[in-house]
A = this chain, B = another copy of it.
Amino acid sequence: MPATAAAQDAALLRRETDIIWLAVASALVFFMQAGFALLESGMSRTKNSVNVLMKNYIDLCIGTLVFWMFGYGVMFGDNPSGWYGTSDFFLSGASELDYSLLMFQTMFAATAVTIASGAMAERTRFSAYLLLSILVTGIIYPVYGSWVWGGGWLAERGFIDFAGSTVVHSIGGWCALAGVIVLGPRLGRFGSGGKPAYIAGHHLPQVALGGFVLWLGWFGFNGGSTTAASLSIGPINLNTHLAAAAGVVGIIILSMILRIPLLLTNTVNGALGGLVAITAGCATMEPGYAIITGLVAGAFVIGGTALLALLRLDDVVGAIPVHGFCGAWGTLAAGLFYDGDLFNGERIVTQLLGIGAGLLWALPLAFILFRVLDGLVGLRVPERFEMQGLDYAEHYEIAYPEFGNVQLHRGKEF
């Protein structure tokens, strides 16, 4: 083989390897949808578990088509203003690599949109939620994304968010926060005098499995964010794993200090908090700092959950602490622990700017959209439906018809 043919073949193999890695990573990130579905359904009551699963399926499917039609172009199209993209809608006739990138980014958009469903579980009207998921995948997520990953104004300032602690997770978390503010808490969540009453999820093994599936998917989420074959996949995924483990160890230590029980739900959320937090800086940190990032994330999970209860905000699965707060912390940590240049003040300021921009973009906008949806179709189901359970009231089916689902027999059970 002459040298030029050999070089062409080598270049082709490199592109093919890039596409294989993107395909593997896309599959892993896709599987996170199953993780969210299991986790959120398990943390809900039996009578709402089908509703949660349906939201996860339908927001994925609608979001996938909306992102192909609009979102991808808004996020990655030509971006002359630095504020949003203006091309690549209904992507067609593109290169194999562009199709691979669209696939990978579709999975990210689907992750961002599904974060809110868990926080808002057990009381949100199905149709309103689906309208929301169109707006998140078509506007809220990709506009902010264009600022960071689409060559926009935050990218130009050197803001670091390698795989989306802010772009995906905090944005999703702030949408969730807006949602629970507009929705209000579930019936019975805050008893007389506003004292929080614990409402147990109906299926803890499902929660545990969901946590493992999400953790697995994160190796595609972070590792795949190289979007190409790269040596750095190794340290990125090691950091990812260490931070997740450290998130749980943070929960253990804090539970011992505070003398509170080490709950399975907190344990799973500790791992997820560590994963969310390391997402921004996984490519630019040494392992020891990844562990610190994870440990601190565990504290944000416990503290954030307590803070929400104090504010009478009802987040069914802890999505706001895990994705919102840990996402913000992790984005800051990416600046603090930047390899070879720790605690650089300028970088820290840039990181805070990006975090703040995400909060100021997503929270008010989502709040307004939720209010408008509330006025148009009603964001919350009627009280009677909430007591019956959304599965029966909105979907005409129940999750386990043979396991004595008590809520169908008791009129006032909630």
User: Chain B residues with Cβ under 8 A from A288's Cβ?
Assistant: 90, 92
Partner of A237, one of B103, B201, B245, B287: B103
Give the most central of A20, A244, A399: most B CB within 10 Å: A20
**A37 on interface, CB distance cutoff 8 Å:** yes
Q: Which residue of B lies closest to A130 (CB)?
A: B252
Interface size on A (CB < 8 Å)?
113
Are A37 and B209 within 8 A (Cβ)?
A: yes
User: Chain B residues with Cβ under 8 A from A400's Cβ?
Assistant: 202-204, 403
**A212 on interface, CB distance cutoff 8 Å:** yes
Binds B, one of A26-34, A113-121, A149-157, A366-374: A26-34
Q: How far is the CA of A9 from the CA of B307 in the complex (A)?
A: 52
User: Chain B residues with Cβ under 8 A from A242's Cβ?
Assistant: 64-65, 68
Digit string of A33-75 for contact with B (CB within 8 Å is 1, else 0)?
A: 1100110011001100110011011101110110010000000
Give the dominant DSSP class at A's interface. Answer: helix
Q: How far is the CA of A49 from the CA of B64 in the complex (A)?
A: 33
Are A20 and B23 within 8 A (Cβ)?
A: no
User: Chain B residues with Cβ under 8 A from A171's Cβ?
Assistant: none
**A6 on interface, CB distance cutoff 8 Å:** yes
Q: Which residue of B lies closest to A289 (CB)?
A: B92
Are A200 and B397 within 8 A (Cβ)?
A: yes
CB distance from A126 to the nearest CB of B (A): 9
User: Chain B residues with Cβ under 8 A from A235's Cβ?
Assistant: 96, 99-100
Within 8 A of B (CB), among A142-184: none
Q: How far is the CA of A57 from the CA of B235 in the complex (A)?
A: 22
**A263 on interface, CB distance cutoff 8 Å:** yes
Are A99 and B238 within 8 A (Cβ)?
A: yes
Binds B, one of A187-195, A226-234, A314-322, A352-360: A226-234
Are A22 and B234 within 8 A (Cβ)?
A: yes
Copies assembled: 3
User: Chain B residues with Cβ under 8 A from A267's Cβ?
Assistant: 54, 57-58
User: Chain B residues with Cβ under 8 A from A90's Cβ?
Assistant: 288
Q: Which residue of B lies closest to A215 (CB)?
A: B30
Partner of A209, one of B38, B64, B234, B249: B38
Partner of A405, one of B49, B399, B402: B402
User: Chain B residues with Cβ under 8 A from A245's Cβ?
Assistant: 60-62, 64-65
Are A65 and B10 within 8 A (Cβ)?
A: no
Q: How far is the CA of A263 from the CA of B50 in the complex (A)?
A: 9
Q: Which residue of B lies closest to A265 (CB)?
A: B397
Digit string of A189-225 for contact with B (CB within 8 Å is 1, else 0)?
A: 0000000000011111110110111011001100100
Q: How far is the CA of A374 from the CA of B263 in the complex (A)?
A: 25
CB distance from A294 to the nearest CB of B (A): 9
Q: How far is the CA of A34 from the CA of B207 in the complex (A)?
A: 11
User: Chain B residues with Cβ under 8 A from A348's Cβ?
Assistant: none
Are B404 and A404 within 8 A (Cβ)?
A: yes
Closest 8 CB pairs of A and B: A100-B234, A34-B212, A64-B245, A96-B231, A61-B248, A61-B245, A16-B229, A96-B234
